[in-house]
Structure 1
């Protein structure tokens, strides 16, 4: 007979202790931490990982207790101002732009401020100052469904920045609960341990970067996992719609589209091109329709330039790119970013084609594995790898035998060492240590152990 929560905590006092310690650490993280204090940040972060692992084990993987804990930890952040990222100021700004009847894709915050403050735009000056010069001087790069979330968050009762933050946080927490629900159901369908979903849901990285710092990768992941669940249930049309929703929150799932090439196979192992094309058409039409309310030729120009800017002009926490940059400096004496950012994406494209044409992605486990490896290679070759970019890797790893993404979610905290410096300069030795660990685990799992065979 299943024990109630009270009895579980009675007989699992150690679990209750770890729940209490984790709660104290999360409260300290949320309300008593500045990102320039790297030592405190590091100790809190590592302490939370130790407690998370011990808590999960001490409960005996008891589902109801783990669900309760995952909700409690997130609610602890409810009234906190994000302390590791200032992106939320831009989120709130874009949402207020929409509610003010202004297309956020057609004007920059700097230009809007030059026009003067609007009477129906709460906290306009504070938001502009808070987002920083880089964000304020560029057009928004967030897709339409993400923009809708920003607008909805600003409808939360109240006219303060905190009320909008609470609105954003409620949406992200709701998405995480949805990922928990469909992730568990999908794991059960795949006959995999359903409690594996908690290595995502109770991962301190996920709680801090999504609920804490308000990054919407969690909403993207929710639609992605829901889509994969429906795809496994042979409801491919609705799965295509939800996959399009995932793209319309963040563009990253676009790179997964070629991987579906061998999903729609008939009994005689031939590709059902009618279903395949229909699948892609539904995705394309859904994405287009979601962009329609913002459409104009100026929008196309602004959005494409901004996306290209973010993916090709900035440098942070890179690995292979930094090595290529060093070689470029040694040969020419200059930063050859323009040339390098043409070569590395080409390699990523070749990797995607390889996994699309030469891997049998005809099951969710194989498909998730290909998605995981493709995205990993993309991040290894990127010029910019912000911590929250790992969110998709972590959820995909739940459905595979590869766990290097979980290791990376611990080590990624080293990237925040840059904020301990006044000029936010990165220490390349620290970055090297991060990627040395990540690449060693990656090579061990993917190349040496060969856990997955296609």
Structure 2
């Protein structure tokens, strides 16, 4: 099918009925989700979210046989309805959005957000009973968020200084991501209905509309940068990817894909823009790193307890320094090899570019093994664009990482079991995806189209 126009592939209305029925089911799931979570526990909630993701996957299968304006309209309407439901729900899985509002408020008062922890005496006049009590790590952690995120927090709080306004802004970025994915699918000549893999997946709905995570901004910048790169505007794409990385650093992994051998212009653009974005915050000195070093310690990434592979053999035990260095060294070499292959690849097709970027993101997450579901949002953005199986695993079962109700909840599965199981399955799936051609290998062999 020519993806530059939407035409019905079948005169049989059954696929359209299925899409409408699945959409109705998602609305019910997201409306009842919080109550069901608290009533029946984490295991039931994780299973419910897996059903949610399965609905998204089913529509992507239907996209291969049926596509119409009506089907796309249903997908987009359901996407907006489910986001509206969670937007109206106070965040209970994460409190990060309160820190966003606080950082914006601090900047609005003319204070560098990297200078003080929220509980510092210097910020006493900014505290209230609505925002401050909900900030996590308020007494020991300065902000961790880079400059692009800080600018977003500042601008949003100039319009409204509250949690709801911040969530609305993040949903706006989420909608921009959906638009970017539709634009990319249109450029690639693929069924636009594939956007359901992102628009209907539970992770963006719950982590962006529900919890208001700033990763939404990173995704919007990153996906529009990918659209620009596929249009041949790699330098502008690199600039936009840099802005994305200054929201969440994961977006840096796009740059090797956009880079062409010995093209120093992209390097200069990235370096210059990053420097420019940091300039207003430089009076904080090394404080511009924020809580980054403390976060690495807290998550066990310096001691090795946060890595998933050693937990197979020595759960919760700090590793010898030499072993931590060796594990990270091996991971860095692997990541560097994939990045070099991406930068020097001969195949500059859209499939190769998307596959290389996805492989970099998958390996990066597999090495660092984050414990928080919203880190996997970037994988969901690739679901409409890639036939790979591996990026479905972590986002679909990500809610198992939450201990909001557990471990007092008897249905809660321990973090160690969750982490080892999901990352092991993802690793196996990555290998199988490479062997099947769904992801590119280090030999430079391109990935298949969906």
TM-score normalised to structure 1 length: 0.81
**CA deviation profile, 1:206-244 (whole Å, cap 9, x unmatched):** 211122111122211111111121122222332222122
Determine if the alignment matches structure 1 residue 248 to structure 2 residue 246. Answer: yes
Determine if the alignment matches structure 1 residue 142 to structure 2 residue 148. Answer: no
* 1:423-442 alignment, distance < 5 Å: 426-442=414-430
**CA deviation profile, 1:109-149 (whole Å, cap 9, x unmatched):** 122xx34631xx3x5354333223x3541111111121122
Within the candidate set 29, 41, 45, 2:45 is matched to 41
Work out the CA distance in 1 between the residues paired with 2:213 and 2:319.
Answer: 31
* 1:103-118 alignment, distance < 5 Å: 103-111=112-120, 114-115=121-122, 117-118=124-125
2:229 matched to which residue of 1?
A: 231
Within the candidate set 281, 290, 298, 2:277 is matched to 290
Q: 1:87 to 1:203 in 2, by over 3 A?
A: same
Within the candidate set 128, 131, 153, 1:127 is matched to 131
Within the candidate set 47, 70, 75, 1:66 is matched to 75
Determine if the alignment matches structure 1 residue 79 to structure 2 residue 65. Answer: no
Q: Is the contact made by 2:23 and 2:75 (CA closer than 8 Å) also made in structure 1?
A: no
Which structure has greater helix proportion?
1
Secondary structure of the structure 2 residue equivalent to 1:92: helix
2:111 matched to which residue of 1?
A: 102
Q: How far did 1:382 drift?
A: 1.3
Work out the CA distance in 2 between the residues paired with 1:290 and 1:245.
Answer: 9
Q: Is the contact made by 2:95 and 2:135 (CA closer than 8 Å) also made in structure 1?
A: yes
Q: Is the contact made by 2:19 and 2:74 (CA closer than 8 Å) also made in structure 1?
A: no
Work out the CA distance in 1 between the residues paired with 2:225 and 2:156.
Answer: 24
Within the candidate set 298, 304, 320, 2:289 is matched to 304
Q: How far did 1:294 drift?
A: 1.4
Determine if the alignment matches structure 1 residue 24 to structure 2 residue 31. Answer: no
Within the candidate set 337, 346, 369, 2:329 is matched to 346
Which shows bigger deviation, 187-196 or 171-180?
187-196
Secondary structure of the structure 2 residue equivalent to 1:154: helix
Work out the CA distance in 2 between the residues paired with 1:286 and 1:35.
Answer: 49
Work out the CA distance in 1 between the residues paired with 2:433 and 2:404.
Answer: 29
**CA deviation profile, 1:332-364 (whole Å, cap 9, x unmatched):** x95127555433332332123212333416333
Q: Is the contact made by 1:258 and 1:356 (CA closer than 8 Å) also made in structure 2?
A: yes
Work out the CA distance in 1 between the residues paired with 2:296 and 2:212.
Answer: 21
Q: Is the contact made by 2:239 and 2:273 (CA closer than 8 Å) also made in structure 1?
A: yes
Q: Is the contact made by 2:43 and 2:400 (CA closer than 8 Å) also made in structure 1?
A: no
Within the candidate set 341, 362, 380, 1:358 is matched to 341
Q: 1:340 to 1:36 in 2, by over 3 A?
A: farther
Q: Is the contact made by 2:114 and 2:287 (CA closer than 8 Å) also made in structure 1?
A: yes
1:268 matched to which residue of 2?
A: none
Which shows bigger deviation, 362-371 or 285-294?
362-371
Q: Is the contact made by 2:234 and 2:258 (CA closer than 8 Å) also made in structure 1?
A: no
Secondary structure of the structure 2 residue equivalent to 1:257: helix
Q: Is the contact made by 2:86 and 2:205 (CA closer than 8 Å) also made in structure 1?
A: no
For structure 1, the residue ranges without an aligned partner over 5 or more in a row are 264-270
Q: 1:340 to 1:391 in 2, by over 3 A?
A: farther
2:200 matched to which residue of 1?
A: 202
For structure 2, the residue ranges without an aligned partner over 5 or more in a row are none
TM-score normalised to structure 2 length: 0.82
Residue-pair matches, total: 424
**CA deviation profile, 1:285-314 (whole Å, cap 9, x unmatched):** 112111211122xx2422336223323441
Give the CA RMSD over aligned residues. 3.5
Work out the CA distance in 2 between the residues paired with 1:313 and 1:94.
Answer: 21
Q: 1:33 to 1:89 in 2, by over 3 A?
A: farther
